[in-house]
Amino acid sequence: MDEPRRAFRKQLGEILLDRGWLQPDQLEQGLAIQNRQGGLLGQILVELGFVTEEQVVQAVTEQYGFPYLPLKQYTVDPAAVRLVPANVARQYCLIPVDRLADTLSVAMADPLNVHAVEDLETLSHCSVQVFMSTISDVNEMIQQHYRKPAEGADAPSN
C-alpha cells in the first residue's frame, strides 16, 4: 500500500538549531510554553530573547520558500497602500508595498495566512504576491503610511 508523498519541510526549531541561532534547551523551553499557552513558536522564542525576529523570518523563508523583504531598505508605493484599508493592514499585519499591472505585492508577518491573501485579492482586484517581513517592520510601516483622521476612520497618509 503506497502512502501519499508529502514534501518534507524542516520544523522551525530544527532550522534555528541547524543555523546555530538556538540551543536545544532553549527550543525545549519555547516548545513547553507553546504547549501550555499556544501561540507561534517563533514569536515565543523572540519574546524569550533566544532569537531575533530577523532570524525567525529567515528560518521561515527557508521552511516555506517565501522571499524575505527587509522593509527598512524598501520604499513603499503610496498608490499600493491606498488599495488596502488600514484596518485590514493592521488586522493581518501586512503592508502593500508595490503594484505592477494586476499584481499587488505585500509584505506580511504571517505569509501562511491564506484568508488574508484571499481578502486582499477581493479588495484590490489584483493577484497578490507575498513577501515575508518582521512583525515590527510591518507595524512600523503601517504607522508611517496610515493615519487616523479626526472623524475616526483610518485613511492612508500622503
**Residue 3 confidence (pLDDT) above 60:** no
CATH value of 71-156 in 2.60.210.10, 3.40.190.10, 3.40.640.10, 3.30.300.160: 3.30.300.160
Please give the torsion angle defined by the CA atoms of residues 26, 28, 29 and 30, in that order, rounded to the nearest 10 degrees. 90
- What is the helix (H) or strand (E) element at residue 131, kind and residue range? strand 127-132
Q: Model confidence at 39, in pLDDT bands (50, 70, 90)?
A: confident
Cell numbers representing residue 128 in the block: 497578490
| Phi-psi group of 60: left, alpha or beta (phi > 0 → left; psi -120 to 50 → alpha; rest → beta) | alpha
pLDDT at 2: 44
pLDDT at 117: 96
What are 85-94's pLDDT values in tens digits? 999 999 999 9
d(CA 80, CA 93): 15
Domain edges within the chain: 12-64, 71-156
Cβ contact 124:100 at 8 Å:
no
Please give the torsion angle defined by the CA atoms of residues 45, 26, 8 and 133, in that order, rounded to the nearest 10 degrees. 20
